[in-house]
Structure 1
C-alpha cells in the first residue's frame, strides 16, 4: 500500500467497504471492522473479502495506521515496528476478539 493513499468508500452497502490498491498493482475489497486509537494514533482494522463479497474463511484481517487530512480524506500507512504491531493487535483482541468469536 502506498503511504497516504486514499481509498474509495462504497456508501450503497450496509457495511462500509473499501478497495485497497496494493503495491503489486492488485486490488482487494475489505470491510472496515473498526477504527480505534492508542494514544494519539488511530488504527483501522480491515477484513478482506473474497470475490463474492464474503468474509475470508481464515478470519485474516489487515491493520494499518489511519489518518485523515484537513479535508477529512482518509489515508493509511503501514505499521513499521513489531512492538507497535503487537500493541495494536493486543488492543484489537482486547476490544473486539470476543465479539468476533461469537459470530
Structure 2
C-alpha cells in the first residue's frame, strides 16, 4: 500500500451529500444552455490563440515509473521536478 491519498479522503460524508444536492446541472428545473457555437466561431477562436510559442513547452512536475534520482542516485518509482531535476521524495525540497 502506498502513502498516497485519494481526493475522497479529504471530503466528509456530509460535504459529499451537500455537493450532490447543489449541482445545478442535476436540477431538472434549470434551463439548458442554448448557446451553440458554429464552426466559424470555433475557427475564429482558434486563430486568436495561435500566438503561442512552440519552444515554450511545459514540463511535468511529477513522474512515476522507474527513475534514478538526479541528486542522490537512488532508484525511485516516484520522482518530482526540483530545479529542473527529477528527484526522489527524500531529496525534494518541500
- With structure 2 as the length reference, what TM-score do the two structures score? 0.21
Q: Larger C-alpha radius of gyration, 1 or 2? A: 2
Bigger fraction of residues in strand: 1
